[in-house]
Structure 1
Amino acid sequence: MFRILSKSLKTGVVTKADPFESRPPLGFPVIDFARCTACEECAHACPTGAIALAAPAADRRQLSLSYAACIQCRECVAACPEQVVASGRDVEVAAYTREQLTQTASFDLDGMGRARFTHMEAQAGPGLEESAARLRERIRGLLGRSLHVREVDAGSCNGCELEITATTNPVFDLERFGIHFVASPRHADLLLVTGPVTRNMEIALRRTYEAAPEPRVVVAVGACGCSGGIFGEGTYASIGGVDRVVPVDVYVPGCPPRPQAILNGLLVAMGVREARLNPKAPAASPEPAVTPSPARPRARGVDEG
């Protein structure tokens, strides 16, 4: 007992006064669309289809980047020949709709087939302020400064669960913000859902959602929870993102999102913090060159000897 007390006194207080003050070295990718040539190399390198190039017309191209599907693998950074893709420093990204997590840039093609950036497309659906007002109207005067959370693993790899658990340690200490985890959805104000919803967990997630009292708030955590991630949507084993089964109020992308991002998403759901949609480009020196992952050896066919 005395050894424990002695160790605690020597260690001191490890809780960060501001958990959002420090910045991790790497965050979500940021594309400098003004310098982009729409060569499609980043789209080919993306394993989840978070970056996609479309051709709405013969002389137009549209390049979109979805942070909801991004797993922060940095393959796009390594693949870009023009070095216009860099890893941002922000991880505290949260949005009220999946569309708000998508950036779409338009390019015009000249006579030589070269792309020239023209403008950013407007986001579909309600804007940030309108979405925030809707959520606050639902929870006004009911949650106050206290939030009870029921965590639901709908089929994740447990990476997000490790980060959620980290929010309860002495470093981040989410309970000082009035946030508590509970064992039953009947005691919860908010459902924190991780993983792509597997077909075996669909009914369980629906029943958990129905068991939570109104006004229930749902936060989708991680790339898998936001969009299906690397598992995709509509496969034989996975339905996809959480919003394919129950309504989602706040999306927290990342693979996995860091404890700061999860805590930020919960505070956004409470109306304490404002949602942040797009990471900022690093202010420091340009991103160093990254060696692409080696290609996997192709299995030899029978006719190849």
Structure 2
Amino acid sequence: MLIYHEGMAIRAARARLSSPTPLVIQNWHRWSTFVQGKYYDLGIYASRLIRTFLVPNRALEVNRPAELPLHQTTISCPIATEPDSRPPLTDSLADLLSRSDFFNYSSRCFIETCKLMVIATRMIDRPLNDQQTILDIHLQLETWFNALPESALIRQRSPLTFPPVLTLHITYWWFILHSHLPLAEQLPASTPEPVRNLSIKMSTRATEKLVQLFTTFDSQFGLRYFPRNLIKSIHACGSALVIERDSASSASRKKRATATEGIGVCINALKTIGDIWPVAIRMCEELESLAGEDPSD
């Protein structure tokens, strides 16, 4: 059913003039289809990427080309929104979700997600095996993050965060992990030391941030409400943590313990989400198999 509706959306977007809706509404729908398609593509590519690191002699398969081309139109909200402002400080979930300005925050997060997906297209449409490409993507992601409006930032002092803001940050750190993992795990001897250190550092930081964001989402809203199109980020994070744990030296007990704890968070998260989305059960079983026994034990 999901594939059927996505196919209908693609055909409607391609029709362009088949609907009397204003162009701005039409573009909004096209961007929505584009974003969902890229989430799907990334989930497939991420699975293949992880297997090249964890399954011996498994070559990376060629990813299927995107069905929709990159949009050339700008992304803008179809209705007027209020000026950008910082998310409110509240500890009431009912108050947070019933606020009259909730759409302002969710729409801005969607616009930022579209911008993020344009950057991600370079990661999805071709294998990440070129050092310069990875560094270029890193710079684009970093520039995007530093330019986020206040409404899309997480307020550390706030007991609750708008769900679209949390998912936007989960997407960003998933992309950081996805972009740096190939360079961090398959570094040739000729790779310059600064590049090597950057990729290892960013991969570790991404898994730390993702585990923190998964935990935050669970404590604030419950993982049963975790977005379907981000479930793969949990599996990707857990798989990367398995690599971190297994590659840590025997003296790095703290690093191994942190990675092991993070793996547990990801496995438990997938088990909880599996009650709602069965696909998470398969991901959980695969992650448990990948984790296996700690080689240091």
Both proteins in one fold, TM over 0.5: no
Shorter-chain TM-score: which interval?
A: under 0.3
Higher relative contact order (CA 8 A, sep 6+): 1
Q: TM-score, normalised by structure 1?
A: 0.25
The structure whose residues are more often helix, as a share, is: 2
Q: TM-score, normalised by structure 2?
A: 0.26
Between structure 1 and structure 2, the one with the greater Rg is: 1
